[in-house]
Amino acid sequence: MRGWATRRTVALAAVCTVAVLAETFALRGRPASLALAPQSAAPTPWGVFHDERWLLSWASSWPTVVLGIGALIVGRGLFTAAQVALAWPTDQPWPGWRLVLGRAVGATALAAVLVSPSASLLVAFAVAPISDLWLTALAIFIGVALFTHHGPIRSWWLRHPRWASIGWVAVSFLILTGAGAAMVAVTSPGIYLVAVAAALADAWTWRGIVRSLARPARVIAPIGPLGVLGVVVLTVIGVTAAASPRSDGDHGVTDVTAHARVRQPVLFVSGYGVRWDGDVPSLGKSFIVREFSYRGTDRHGKPLPYDAAATASPLPDLVRKFAAQVNAWAQANGQPIDIVGESEGALLTSLYLAVTPHPPVRNVVYLSPLVRPARADYPQPGHDGPGLLAGWELRGLAKIVNSTTPLEVNADSSFVHSLADHAEALRGLFGCPKPAVRQAAIYPLADVVGIPPEALDRIPHETVPALHGTLLANPLVRAHIARYLIAGTLTDPDGSVEKAVALAAVPWRTPVLATVPTDCRAAASAARAWLSGT
């Protein structure tokens, strides 16, 4: 009996190793996607989440979507049944192949449905790397995993997970995170050593989960369905709380500029979905501040208040308004201005600098910048293309969010599709040098999950503990901005925490096969052609 158990353990390790090594070999040279390889043999629902992200990212027609869903459910279901069989403890009665196959395929179908919204949100995150999308997607997925992982072994709607199995699921998550990060950090042939180690860890966690759940349960209760319902309710409450209007607090700031030049003009550029009523935060007595208006200016050149819909305008239109307001503000003050752009505002600033030969700008500070946007896509309604199913899921999620929270979300806004339609001009544009313009960035720690590790140090930066789009309203951050605009210095970052966060997030993003251009001149040329309509 012991020899049979040993042979099955070896076979389980071999099956997992073949699966992980095969994907590692196929994706070698593409670290952003290679980080997913250890999940190809991982326990349910990690493995399903792996498959679902590939399907939602790359299926480009409805026949492909249907075939992909069928292949996911049947293929992953059969693979899961084999792994459960090889991990089944010899001291427990074997339930039979028919029952194991039925549970495995059913659990796969259930997981595919429940984790699909998370996978779609990660596609949106790859289009516009706003950390709120990533945090929401991962929170939902982890919640689903905790309450459904026992499906291939025990009926998930009648039997409850055990503390031991939950512990194994948590261990598996940590292993997959570390292995995926290592895939990005090491170079070939080291990736194959990481792949083998990850595969053996997959087999180990499979064995631990199955052994902890194979014993008959004494209590029959619908813990799984109730838990999933709780995850949904908590998500709605969390999104509603996050969408509630925030107070900017004190618009003053400790005046670190007492000995600086007097009244340096600054243009604030807010982000996507923001409403502006005419109130402008202060940077101190040495600055005169104006807000960029997404709506435009009146006949006297004064910025007009705007609502969230104005920020969703096509990027070419916004860049033209931006250039006009920058020039007008510089001329009104008779000197170059400083620009502080947040989120979409940072992207507008990057585009403006790329296409303007001699901008009247001295310093630029990017807050919550979209460092690598447009790494994925989904087509507009009525069109085929990669991300087809994700696009329709995102439209459905937008309707749900709009009806249950204060947010107003449009999955097909001109701004969103501008990102994907002009990826060549946007992916590598952030941080490109501009003569006579000094650039720096302040990242909220949450946004580091969307920044490739190699892009963190592209320009001088600091990282602060905050969420996306909240920096401009933070008096402490405004003090840091003022200090940089005067003295050119930021808080000296250690960098270890942000790099660890960036690496750990890569395995839980959408697989990306597109390369990022490194030639700033080519990116600027593409941006000029796009914005000029040629």
Residue 376 has a pLDDT of 86
Residues 191 and 273 in one domain: no
Residue 385 belongs to a domain = no
Residue 88 belongs to a domain = yes
Residue 250 clears pLDDT 60, i.e. is over it = no
Contact (CB, 8 A) for 316 and 304 = no
Model confidence over 118-154: pLDDT tens digits? 999 999 999 989 888 999 899 999 988 888 888 888 7
Residue 303 belongs to a domain = yes
* pTM for the structure as a whole: 0.88
Say how far apart CA 444 and CA 471 lie, in whole Å. 7
Model confidence over 477-510: pLDDT tens digits? 989 999 999 988 887 666 778 888 989 999 999 9
Residue 249 has a pLDDT of 40
Model confidence over 386-417: pLDDT tens digits? 999 999 999 998 888 887 766 677 888 888 88
* ω into 225 cis (within 30 of 0): no
Say how far apart CA 293 and CA 272 lie, in whole Å. 12
- The residue with tokens 């905790």 is 146
Residues 268 and 239 in one domain: no
Would you report the helix, strand and coil content of the chain in percent, each value rounded to 5? 55, 10, 35
Say how far apart CA 386 and CA 289 lie, in whole Å. 43
* Dihedral, CA of residue 191, residue 197, residue 201 and residue 203, to nearest 10: 100
Q: Which residues contact 255 (CB under 8 A, 6 or more apart)?
A: 284, 285, 286, 482
Residues 228 and 281 in one domain: no
Residue 399 belongs to a domain = no
Structural domain range at position 231? 2-243
pLDDT band at 224 (very low <50, low <70, confident <90, very high): low
Q: Which residues contact 155 (CB under 8 A, 6 or more apart)?
A: 103
Residue 309 clears pLDDT 60, i.e. is over it = yes
Residues 92 and 200 in one domain: yes
Residues 193 and 288 in one domain: no
Count of domains for the chain: 2
What burial class does residue 323 get, using C-beta atoms within 10 Å of its C-beta: 0-12 exposed, 13-18 middle, 19+ buried?
middle
Residue 246 clears pLDDT 60, i.e. is over it = no
CB-CB neighbours of 164 under 10 Å:
14
What are 196's two structure tokens? Answer: 């083998």
Residues 239 and 287 in one domain: no
Model confidence over 78-129: pLDDT tens digits? 999 999 999 999 888 888 899 999 999 999 999 999 999 999 999 999 998 9
Say how far apart CA 364 and CA 342 lie, in whole Å. 11
